[in-house]
Amino acid sequence: MAYFLQQLINGLTLGSIYGLIAIGYTMVYGIIGMINFAHGEIYMIGAFISIIAFLVLGLAGITYVPLALAVVLLITMFFTSIYGWAVERIAYRPLRGSFRLAPLISAIGMSIFLQNYVQIFQGARVKPMPPIVQGGFTILDSGGFAVRLSYLQLFIILLTLVLMVGFTTLIAATPLGRAQRACEQDMRMASLLGVDVDRVISLTFVMGAALAAVAGLMVTLYYGVIDFFIGFLAGVKAFTAAVLGGIGSLPGAMLGGILIGLIEAFWSGYFSVEYKDVSVFAVLILVLVFCPTGLLGRPEVEKV
Partner 1 sequence: MTAASGLAVAKAAKPPVFWAPFLKDAAVAALVAVLLALPMVGLQTYDIGGGALGIRTHFDWVAIAGAGVFSGRLGLRVLQHLHPRRTGRGPTLTSLAAWSSRQAVPITVAGIAFAAALPFLPFSSRYLIDLGTTVLIYVMLGWGLNVVVGLAGLLDLGYVAFYAVGAYTFALLARDLGFSFWEALPFSGLVAASFGILLGFPVLRLRGDYLAIVTLGFGEIIRIVLLNWASVTGGPNGISDIPRPSFFGLPFARSAPEGVTTFHQFFGLEFSPEHRVIFIYFVILGMALLTNAFTLRIRKLPIGRAWEALREDEVACRSLGINPTTVKLSAFAIGAMFGGFAGCFFATRQGFISPESFTFIESATILAIVVLGGMGSQMGVVLAAILLVSLPEFGRAFAEFRMLIFGAAMVGVMVWRPRGLISRREPTLRLGARSAG
Chain contacts with partner 1 (rule: CB under 8 A): 34-35, 45, 48-49, 51-53, 55-56, 59, 79, 82-83, 85-86, 90-91, 94-95, 98-106, 108-118, 120-123, 125, 127-130, 232, 236, 239-240, 243, 274-275, 277-278, 281-282, 284-285, 288-289, 292, 302, 304
User: Minimum CB separation from partner 1 for residue 139, in Å?
Assistant: 31
Strands 127-128 and 225-226: antiparallel
Q: Which of 221, 177, 210 is nearest to 14 (CA)?
A: 221
Exposure string over 231-257, b if 16+ CB within 10 A, otherwise e:
bbebbbbbbbbbbbbbbbbbbbbbbbb
Minimum CB distance to partner 1 smaller for 59 or for 192 = 59
CB-hemisphere CA count at 13 Å for 226? 31
User: Minimum CB separation from partner 1 for residue 79, in Å?
Assistant: 5
Q: What gap in Å lies between CA 167 and CA 157, rounded to an integer?
A: 15
Minimum CB distance to partner 1 smaller for 158 or for 233 = 233
Minimum CB distance to partner 1 smaller for 175 or for 302 = 302
User: Minimum CB separation from partner 1 for residue 107, in Å?
Assistant: 8
User: Minimum CB separation from partner 1 for residue 215, in Å?
Assistant: 17
User: Minimum CB separation from partner 1 for residue 246, in Å?
Assistant: 13
Minimum CB distance to partner 1 smaller for 157 or for 217 = 217
User: Minimum CB separation from partner 1 for residue 234, in Å?
Assistant: 13
Minimum CB distance to partner 1 smaller for 123 or for 166 = 123
Minimum CB distance to partner 1 smaller for 116 or for 169 = 116
Minimum CB distance to partner 1 smaller for 61 or for 121 = 121
User: Minimum CB separation from partner 1 for residue 165, in Å?
Assistant: 29
C-alpha torsion 49→19→251→71, nearest 10: -30
